[in-house]
Structures are given as structure tokens and as C-alpha cells.
A and B are shown apart, each in its own frame.
Chain A
Amino acid sequence: MSLDYTSAEMMSVTAARALENGMTCFVGIGLPSEAANLARLTHAPEVVLIYESGTVQTKPEVLPLSIGDGELCESALTTVSVPEMFRYWLQGGKVSVGFLGTAQIDRFANLNTTLIGDYQAPKVRLPGGGGAPEIATNAGEVFITLKHSKRAFVKDVDFITTLGFGRDGKGRDDVPNIGKGPTRVITDLCVMKPDPETKELVVVSLHPNVSREDVIEATGWEIRFAESLETTPEPSAHELEILRELKARTERKHAGE
């Protein structure tokens, strides 16, 4: 039986499947938060979720609108101060995965959440770095999830807020005490991984009913495809049900306040 699902649901389910029991995940707001909680509510009930507001091992009933919603604190094992969060837990090496979203990403998985255009005269001013610059370097590895578009997937980001592999792919070489960096990028069209040598992002898996042309059309550089290109497994009925319930609960909660 073939299920009906949207490309956004495909992205969330695929992103959720990247997380496993045993991982400790520092969660960004938005799509990463949706994916991380879906993982916790389906195949990875033991995954530890940490948010930068200081909430450790949190199990929110609904998705937070802001990174510091009361829900995160009330459902956490403990809540620590923000300096403790960044110093002991993140910089101290207790986080295995950082899960981030972004406004712009380039072929070496560098992230830009600072601005579009020139720093002194920006075309669009974005919120800024937040926790991402240190999450991306101090977490064991980084998963990134965002919607695929030519505006978001650019050859070179306008500004490196957060390091992927630098302007030349060598940004992590010979840097001591640094994480592996981005190991996968999950979009609504495909999954990408960095080439083991050059660190340039390569499509390793296409979502069902997505063509190579679809990805080429939505990417701002000449995107490469892995030789053994796979098809991403479809969401299960159970995953879709849990995801839809989570989103409906979240909408009801935020509309009611």
C-alpha cells in the first residue's frame, strides 16, 4: 500500500531517522526540533535532547515556538544555566550530535544565518549566530536539515556564520579538539553527505519520486551524485501518524495561548 505524504513530512521523517538511541543531541529550533522529537516519539525513545536554553534531557509534549519555552523546562530532567550549558555540556564534549537548520548553506556545508549581501550594507539581515558556531565545532558531528531551494543552496555562502568545512573544504584540517562537522544534510528532496576527500556535498539518496533534475534545479552549484545513488525509504504509517499528531497538538497549544 502506498501512503500519501508531503515532501515536508518526508524530510522530517528522514531527518528523524538519522537519530538513534544512545545519541545526545543538541537541538536547534524549527525543523531540527521537529525531527528530534519525532525520533524520540518513534524509534529512538532513549535519545537525549538538549536545548541551548539549558534544558537537559527534555521530553516536550508539543514543539516549542522559542528555544526557551516553559514546556522544555517542565519536561526536562534538569535545567542548567546557559554558561553551564555551553561550557560543560557542549564544549566539554558531552554532545554527540548537533542538529541545525540554516538560512543558507554552501557546497562545503558552511552555514549562513547572519545576512544576505554585504556585512556593512546587507540586503537581508538575518538573526545571527546564536548557538550554532560552537555547536558545529564542539559537537561530535552535525546533522543539518532545511528545505531545498536555489536561494538556500548556494555555491559560496555570503558569510560563514558557522563552519562546515570552510571556503576550501579544509577548514577542519589540523584543528585540534574539533568535531567531525556536518555528516549529512537532509532536505525535502534528498540526503547529501560530504565527499570523504574533498568535503563537497554529494547527493547519496533521492527521496521517492524525486528526480536528479529536481535536485539540480534547486541547487546553486553543479551538484554531484554518488555512484551508488539510493532511494530514501518512505515514511511508515506509524511515523506519519505520530508526526501529524505532534504537529496538531503543537498548533492547538500555540493557538490557545
Chain B
Amino acid sequence: MAEFLSLHDAVARYVEDGATVAMEGFTHLIPFAAGHEVIRQRKRDLTLIRMTPDLVYDQMIGAGCAKKVIFSWGGNPGVGSLHRLRDAVEKGWPNKVEILEHSHAAMACAFEAGAAGLPLAVLRGYVGSELPSVNDQIKFIECPFTGERLAAVPSVRPDVSIVHAQKADRAGNVLVEGIVGVQKEAVLAAKRSIVTVEEIVDDLRTEADYHPNACIIPGWAISAVAVAEKGSLPSYAHGYYPRDNAFYKEWDAIARDRDVFARWIEENVMNAGGNA
């Protein structure tokens, strides 16, 4: 049964130093507020899993939270590089970060396998790609029925997954709308989960836009729900606010320079109060 906690308390209780953490949201509903809380609490040595690291992991990596990043596309969408990720990988600033890279298909399958309680995901993937030569977590197996050679990757089983969603109700049931990415899989694959939401409503089933096939994660499958208004800015929340494309472009200049980045984190995360 989901417990209603402040974002501070949820992160303090469930994100431990050295943990494997998945913060998902496929270019939508990216849990920035939670990422900033992790930075404020100076969590260290995290293994960060995310298909598209995006700005949220760039910030966490630059702030020194990460020791390893598992991802499948590491850029600033429509803009260019993630400079903090690159600086950590190439120059070891502020600390050396190990990377393990996959394809989207493999990571999506690995989240799904994690949710399904399986040790591995099987896919028709990585054919002819050289990624298996640089990632020892990609293997090939033979189908016992047809003999076909198929790719296998370990399932994603995070210690804690964190996602952002539109709303929760008083029972802690969570509604995710729009591009749903791998949010549900991330929550179900993890030992513990935190869901931040834009708002709490009385009962999702009595909402005007309720639909029997809506993507709803039951409260009893979630560890903690925390309210974080505008919690996915500068990414967007379908039905609430649009993506701040201008900030994604500005980030390029901020993240390029270590000092400018450090100042930005100081002003906009460390000293910005609990809701930044």
C-alpha cells in the first residue's frame, strides 16, 4: 500500500548510497523534482538506469551522484550532447562513471522482463551490431524450439524506481497518461518505488476522464507517493504543461562548462527549496 510521503522523506527512506536506481519517463514525465531531491541529499555511488538519460541524469552525474549509467540513447534530444555525461566518462569529472550501453529494444524488453519476474529478456536484436563487443551484458542464445539465434540481456531489477505521473488518488492509485514509456514496467520491476504526481484527487474512478483501459498503477504496487507540482519540468506532463524546449537548448551552454554548471546546481537545486 502506497504511503504518502514528502518527496524529501521518500528519497531519504528509499534511495540509499550505492543503490541501483531507475528513473524513467520516455522524453515525457521525466522525474526532475525527484532527481533534484537526490542531488540535494547528496546520494552517492548510484547505478543509474534509464533508456534516455536526458538532462535529469546529466545533472545527477555532474553533481556526483552516479558511479555507473546504463542507457540506450544518451543525448539532449534535438539539441546535441549531454556534456556532464561526456565529461564524467571521458575526463572523470567529478568522478569516473562507467557506462553500459544497450539499444532501446533491449532495454524496453529488460524492463518488461523485470516486471515479469524473469531473469532475462530475449529479443531478435543486435544482429550485426558491434554493441555486444563492448557490453558483456549482451549474450546470444539458441531458441530451443527453432534453433534461431536470439539476443539475451539481463532483466532490469532496480532497488528503487522513480517515476512521475499526472495524478494519484487517496488510495495511492496512480494514473499515467500520454506517452507512457516504460513507467509501469519500471515500477513493477523494482523492489521499491516512488511515484511523484502533479496532484492528488479523491478517487480516480470518479474522475470525468476516467477510462476502464487507462494506464493505472494500483496503490498497493507502489511504495510511496509524493506530490511534486510541475515535477517533470523542463520535460512535460501531458494535460498539464508543455515541454520547455527553450530550457533544453539553454542547457547545452550551462552543461558545457563545469563552473557554470556548478553554479546552476547551487542556485537552482541546492538552494531552491524542496520543490525545485
A73 — which chain B residues lie within 8 A by C-beta?
28, 178-179, 238
Chain A residues with CB under 8 A of B52: 130
Report yes or no: A79 in contact with B178, Cβ–Cβ below 8 A.
yes
Name which of A147-155, A158-166, A228-236 contacts chain B: A158-166
Task: Assess A129 versus B27: contact at CB under 8 Å? Given A55-B179, A83-B111.
Answer: no
Closest to A111 in B: B129
Q: Assuming A91-B124, A160-B128, is B178 touching A130 (CB within 8 A)?
A: no
Are A137 and B104 within 8 A (Cβ)? no
| Chain B proximity of A132: nearest CB distance (Å) | 7
Does B131 touch A at the CB level, under 8 Å?
yes
Cα A129 to Cα B71 with chains together (Å): 10
Shortest Cβ distance from residue A115 to the other chain B in the assembled complex, whole angstroms: 10
Q: List the A side residues contacting B246 at CB < 8 Å.
A: 257
Nearest-neighbour CB distance to chain A for B108, whole angstroms, equals 4
Contact (A160, B74) CB under 8 Å given A86-B104, A125-B81: no
Partner of A81 from the list B75, B86, B105, B182 (CB cut-off 8 Å) is B182
Q: Are the C-beta atoms of A70 and B178 separated by less than 8 Å?
A: yes
| Interface residues on chain B, number (Cβ under 8 Å) | 53
- Knowing A29-B78, A125-B81, say if A67 contacts B27 (CB, 8 Å): yes
A83 and B131 within 8 A (CB): no
On chain A, the residues within 8 Å of B75 by CB distance are: 126-128
Chain B nearest Cβ from A256, distance in angstroms: 9
A101 at interface by CB-CB < 8 Å: no
Contact check, B243 vs A257: say whether CB atoms are below 8 A apart.
yes
A82 and B181 form a contact (CB under 8 A): yes
Q: Which residue of A lies closest to B51 (CB)?
A: A82
CB distance from A116 to the nearest CB of B (A): 12
The answer to whether A131 touches B104 (Cβ under 8 A) is: yes
Interface presence of B40 (CB below 8 A): no
Nearest residue in A to B77 (C-beta to C-beta)?
A66
Q: B155-183, CB under 8 A of A: which get 1 and which 0?
A: 00000000000000000000000111110
Point out the residues of chain A lying under 8 angstroms from B112, CB to CB. Answer: 83, 87
Q: Is A221 an interface residue (CB 8 A)?
A: no
Interface residues of A in 163-203 (CB under 8 A from B): 163, 166, 171-172, 175-178
Residues of chain A within 8 A (CB-CB) of B108 are 82-83, 85-87
Q: Does A104 count as interface, using CB distance less than 8 angstroms?
A: no
Please measure, in the bound complex, the distance between the C-alpha atom of A71 and the C-alpha atom of B89, giving whole angstroms.
34
Residues on B with C-beta less than 8 A from A126 are 75
Tell me the residues in window 85-137 of chain B with beta carbons closer than 8 Å to chain A beta carbons: 86, 89-90, 101-106, 108-109, 111-112, 123-131, 134
Residue of B with least CB distance to A127: B75
CA distance A72 to B26 in the complex (A): 13
A75 to chain B, nearest CB (A): 12
**A238–B86 Cα gap in the complex (Å)?**
44
Interchain CB contact under 8 A, B131 and A257: no
Contact of A53 with B182 in the complex, beta carbons under 8 Å: no
Cα of A138 to Cα of B71 in the assembled complex, Å? 21
User: Beta-carbon contacts of A205-219 to B below 8 Å, as 1s and 0s?
Assistant: 000000000000000
Name the one of B73, B90, B124, B236 contacting A127, with C-beta atoms under 8 angstroms: B73
The answer on a CB contact under 8 Å between A171 and B128 is: yes
Shortest C-beta distance, A112 to chain B (Å), equals 9
Closest residue to B133 on the A side, CB-wise? A119
B238 adjacent to A86 (CB under 8 Å): no
Q: Is the CB of B128 within 8 A of A29?
A: no
- Complex Cα gap A81–B115 (Å): 13
A128 to B103, CA, bound (A): 8
Contact between B182 and A82 (Cβ–Cβ < 8 Å)? Answer: yes
Q: How far is the CA of A64 from the CA of B124 in the complex (A)?
A: 29
Residues of A within 8 Å of B73, CB to CB, are 127-131
Cβ of A68 < 8 Å from any Cβ of B? yes
**Most B-side CB within 10 Å, residue of A72, A133, A171:** A133
Asked if B101 and A128 make an inter-chain contact with CB atoms under 8 angstroms apart, the answer reads yes
B252–chain A nearest beta-carbon distance, Å: 13
Q: Give the distance in Å from the alpha carbon of A55 to the alpha carbon of B52 in the complex.
A: 17
- Produce 1/0 per residue, B202-239, CB < 8 A to A: 00000000000001000000000000000000001010
A sample of 26 cross-chain residue pairs with beta-carbon separation below 8 angstroms, ordered by A number, consists of: A53-B28, A64-B78, A65-B77, A66-B27, A66-B77, A68-B26, A68-B179, A69-B27, A70-B178, A79-B180, A81-B181, A81-B182, A83-B112, A86-B108, A90-B105, A114-B101, A114-B130, A122-B90, A126-B75, A127-B74, A129-B101, A130-B73, A131-B103, A163-B127, A178-B127, A257-B242
Residues of A within 8 A of B (CB): 29-30, 52-55, 64-70, 72-74, 79-83, 85-87, 90-91, 110, 114, 119, 122, 125-134, 137-138, 159-163, 166, 171-172, 175-178, 254, 257
| Besides A68-B179, A91-B125, 5 new A-B residue pairs in contact (Cβ under 8 A), listed by A number | A29-B78, A53-B179, A87-B123, A129-B104, A178-B127
